[in-house]
Amino acid sequence: MLTFLRRGLAGLLILLILAALGLAAAAAAAPLAGGGLFAVRSESMAPALSVGDLVIVQDVDPSAVRTGDVITVKVGNGATITHRVTAVVATDARPMFQTRGDANGSPDPVYVRADQVLGRVAGHVPWIGFLLAMLSMPSGLAALFSIGATLLTAIWLLDELVAADEDDDLEGLEGLGAEAQPDVRAART
């Protein structure tokens, strides 16, 4: 039982490491492939997108964005927002977009300029955005390292328990072996 638990924890640790490294590599490579990965951090797009979803965004020419598309934009404070386009406004230069979160009652207060559009949402993966959010914050990285250290400690402790059980079993077998052996000293005299 302890060996099974130890193997499960080791598998979980390996999965955590591979998921974190894979997601970090994918997030770094996404801009090179013409897209981006973003974590949903609010309920403004529920039920289409939930908090913790990983949003996969593809580059799009702003002139190809249509009403109903879900786009990710960079706003003035550097944050990113993923909302649905409710209207496209033609201007002399480039189009502007009115956006609104599906769960919001009214449109966003400011129109989005074409140069703020990071891309159109191509898909999403539930829950994986939590891991991406953790990787993007110092406190999240500290939490991931703490989780890893806890798993390593649990694996080490289980190894110690398994080794102690095996030692007890060996001592028991050695004791059985001594009782089963004839007393050689008595036979020689």
Burial of 31 (0-12, 13-18, 19+ CB in 10 A): middle
Pick the closest to residue 135 from 55, 27, 44, 59 (CA basis). 27
**40 lies in the same domain as 123:** yes
For the CA atoms of the chain, what is the radius of gyration? Answer: 29
What DSSP string runs through 64-130?
G--TT-EEEEE-TTS-EEEEEEEEEE--SSS-EEEEE-TT-SS--SSPEEGGGEEEEEEEEETTHHH
Is residue 43 domain-shared with residue 79, that is, in the same domain? yes
Look at the block and give the residue holding tokens 């550097």. 78
Q: Specify whether 46 is located in the same domain as 90.
A: yes
Domain identity same for 43 and 121: yes
Q: Residue 132 domain-assigned? A: no
Asked if 21 and 56 sit in the same domain, the reply is no
Cβ pair 129, 39 in contact under 8 A: yes
Residues 111, 154, single domain; the answer is: no
Same domain for 111 and 40?
yes
pLDDT of residue 177: 56
Residue 185 falls within a domain, yes or no?
Answer: no
- The confidence score (pLDDT) of residue 129 equals 96
The whole-angstrom separation of Cα 140 and Cα 129 is: 12
**66 and 8 inside one domain:** no
Kindly give the confidence (pLDDT) of every residue in the chain, 189 residues in length, as a single tens digit, with 9 standing for 90 and above: 888 999 999 999 999 999 999 999 999 999 999 999 999 999 999 999 999 999 999 999 999 999 999 999 999 888 999 999 999 999 888 999 999 999 999 999 999 999 999 999 999 999 999 999 999 999 999 999 999 999 999 999 999 988 887 777 777 676 665 555 555 555 555
CATH code, domain with 55: 2.10.109.10
Q: In total, how many domains does the chain have?
A: 2
Q: What per-residue confidence (pLDDT) applies to 76?
A: 83
11 and 78, same domain (yes or no): no
* Range(s) of the domain holding residue 10: 1-31+137-172
